[in-house]
Structure formats: C-alpha cells, structure tokens
Structure 1
Amino acid sequence: MISRPVTISDPLGVHARSAALLARAAEQFESSLWLSCHGERVSLARRLDVLALGVGQGDEVLVLADGLDEAEALEAIADRLAHGVEPFDG
C-alpha cells in the first residue's frame, strides 16, 4: 500500500460532481483506492461516503492505493484532487 497527501485546491472542496468523477476514475484501476480526511477513511468507489467526509478547500487529504497498478492509480487520483477534478479518460 502506498499513499500521498494532497491539499484540496477546489473552492467547492470535494462536492457531488467531483465525488462522482473520482469514483469513475477509481473504477479504471485494478487497485483499491481510499481517501482519508478528518480521521476517517473511505473507499473512492463509494461516492456518497467520499461526499460525507466533508472535504473543503484547503483540507489535506491522504490518498491511499493498494494493488497491481497502485503507483499509476495514486498519481492519477492525487493529481486530480490537487488540480481540480475533471472527467477521467483512461
């Protein structure tokens, strides 16, 4: 398992649309992906759980990945969180 801290830059934080896009992006990888913030850790595949974390702009989150493509998955998800979540095209 590997992890990387990320500071959220989006003024809206992690909102409904970004949580859905993160879940879709996570589905593209073999690895399991989690997001940790405010003392809780949730699977990125569960968009409502991600949304329930209440991640706001400036919050530091920890992205965790475990699996065969964990390095690629971690980089893709962490980059999207750091620079704004956009649709993932594989």
Structure 2
Amino acid sequence: MHADLHRGNLLFTDGELTGVIDWGCAAAGDPAGDLMTAWLFLDERGRAQFRRELTEFDDATWVRARGWALELSVLALARRGDSNSFVAGIARHTLAQLLAG
C-alpha cells in the first residue's frame, strides 16, 4: 500500500507512467488504500475506466477506497490549509471528485 498515490508522487516520461516515488507510508494492507488514486488523480471518466480494468476488487473495497481518499484530503487541508498549494490542489480535486460521485 502506498497511502498517497497522487500526481505529485507519479513520474511520467513522454506522457507515460514510468515511476512512483514517496514510499514513506508503504505497508502491506488494505488494497483500497491504493485504489483511492481513482479520486486523487483521475476524473469521472478516468475513474470509470480504472474500475473497469480492476475487476478483482469488490464494491466494498471501492467504498473503502473512497473513505481513504476522503480522509487523506480532509487531513491535508486541516493540517496544511493552503500553505502548500500543490497538496491543497490535490485535496480540493479529490473532494470535488468524491462529491461528483
């Protein structure tokens, strides 16, 4: 489990994902922790495709992933507010995506 898999921790080369960084919270655990990237990084269309591709996860896992995304976003804004505009942007994007469905 990565615990905060969002665009700030993803490396791209020529538009292709080539790496993941920031493993400070890496641990074996609930796969929903990694699925929360569906809200941290993607829009509604991307999230639908992501879920179609990951058929091995049940509805309960996706519900927990929403919870992980909500927790990370609320804590980021509560702890940092707008002092880190990059992190605040991710948190605000995530909250908007969670509210969108």
How high is the TM-score relative to the length of structure 2? 0.27
Q: Give 1 or 2 for the bigger CA radius of gyration.
A: 2
Structure that is richer in strand per residue? 1
Higher relative CO (Cα under 8 Å, sequence separation at least 6) belongs to 1
Structure-1-length-normalised TM-score: 0.29
